[in-house]
Structures are given as C-alpha cells and as structure tokens.
Amino acid sequence: MTQAEHWLVLIRHGHSEWNLSHRFTGWTDISLAERGLADAAAAGRRLSAEGFAFDEAHTSVLQRTRQTVDSLLAATEHASIPIHSSWRLNERHYGQLQGKNKTEIATTWGESRSRLWWRGYFDPPPPVAEDDPRHPSFDPLYAELDPKLLPRSESLEACQQRLLPYWHEVIAPRIQAGRRLLVASHGNTLRALIMHLEKLDAVAVEKVEVTPGVPIVCRFNHKLELLEREWLDELVEQEA
C-alpha cells in the first residue's frame, strides 16, 4: 500500500458493557468490556500489518477511548507515543437518555421522536436537570472547565460545533505538518467529523455508521481536502 503524504486514522472505541446492552453512554465514563479490548488489539495488529505507525494519539477524556488506544498500541511496535486528551472529542451528551436502552427510550418518548434524537442532526434529547447526577458539573473530569461549556444535552449539531475547534486548531495543523495521527473517539463525534470532511448534509449524515473498533484511514491532499476514506476491516474484505 502506498500511503498519501497526509493521512489520519480514526477509530471508535471498542465495545463497553453498556454498548453490549444497548444503553446510551454519552458522557458516562464506562470502561471497555473484554470484547472491546480485544477489538482494539486486533485493530492494532491490522494497522501494523498495513505499515501504519503513529507520532501521537488523541482521545476524549473518557476512559474507554484511552483504553482503546492503549490496547491498540500495545499490539504494535509503536506503543510509546504522546497521547493527548480533550473533552471536545467526547461522545455527545445524551441528556436524559444516558443510561437507558433503546426499548426504554422508545417506550417513554415514542419510537419516531427517539429516532430523531439518536440519528438526526438538529434535535437534542431532553436535557438533564442542573442537579441531576448525570450533569457534567458533578464529574471531576470537568472541574477545570468553564461551567458554561458543560452541556445538559447535545444534538449532533451541537456535538459537531464543540468538536470542530479541536479539528481546526489541533488536529488539522498537525496533519498538515506531516504528523501521523491516531484519533480514538466516539460514534457520534466521528459521524460529525466525517460529515464535516465529506461535506455531507443533515439528511446524508443520518446514514453514516461508525463500527466500534474498526480503523478508518482518511487520506488528504496538500490542501487537507479528503481524497479517500477506507475501512480496515478484515471481515468486510473477506465477505466482499
């Protein structure tokens, strides 16, 4: 494989117990299940076999993304690289949906409205109250963050608006400089980034899926315009 001069590898964290039970996790700091750790290690072996090495990694502040990076890198020959974490790479905050599964949500609010919340771009779920334990102000991870920045709920649009400053100010300049980056984040955060890179509209992004634990290689031209998005998924290739 010939790698383009500018590239980036994205990966959604592997499965947690809440993922496996179809519970909405959001900003809840849940650790990976054994399956998630194994998926990340498999991703690392695949990337290493394809000749990928990294100068640095970027994660959210949620432990499941750091565990994904640690497990992935441990399966390669390049485990000792700087790892940077930012709340801007967090999953979107699901408000009152956090901790609930899809059946509970559909029963409470109806299937049609619920689908708008978890697949649509503009509609945020019902927000948590200021005194709700799910409010980020109760989490020491965000003690140093301006309280005005802490969401009670986020639409995909709000998640994207929170993410893009980190893309423009941190990730993009590093790629432009030739740095080889690994970014471990979450399903909606990566959907929002793919929407931005591919210039998708609010309807098209509803169909974007990001599989847990499967690396996505993004290749760019010198202007950092996306040339190609490739999944490194052995199972998909074998079935093709």
Residue from 13, 15, 93, 186 carrying the catalytic annotation:
13
Question: Known catalytic residue: 13?
Answer: yes
Question: Known catalytic residue: 91?
Answer: yes
- The answer to whether residue 140 is domain-embedded is yes
- The answer to whether residue 6 is domain-embedded is no
* Residue 44: C-alpha distances to residues 19, 34, 88, 108, 147 (Å): 21, 15, 24, 40, 37
- The answer to whether residue 64 is domain-embedded is yes
- The answer to whether residue 44 is domain-embedded is yes
Tokens (6 digits) for 50: 């394809």
- For the chain, the domain total comes to 1
Question: Tell me: the pLDDT tens digits for 14-39?
Answer: 999 898 888 999 999 999 999 999 99
Q: Domain containing 193 — which CATH number?
A: 3.40.50.1240
Q: Would you call 36 helix, strand, or coil by DSSP?
A: helix
- The whole domain housing 110 covers 13-163+183-239
- The answer to whether residue 176 is domain-embedded is no
* Residue 215: C-alpha distances to residues 138, 197, 229 (Å): 33, 16, 10
* Residue 198: C-alpha distances to residues 64, 212, 224 (Å): 26, 20, 12
Question: Tell me: the pLDDT tens digits for 84-137?
Answer: 999 999 999 999 999 999 899 999 999 999 999 989 999 999 999 999 999 999
Neighbouring CB atoms inside 10 A of 30's CB total: 18
- The answer to whether residue 3 is domain-embedded is no
89 within 8 A of 59, measured Cβ to Cβ: yes
Residue from 91, 93, 135, 157 carrying the catalytic annotation:
91
- pTM of the entire structure? 0.94
- The answer to whether residue 25 is domain-embedded is yes
- The answer to whether residue 1 is domain-embedded is no
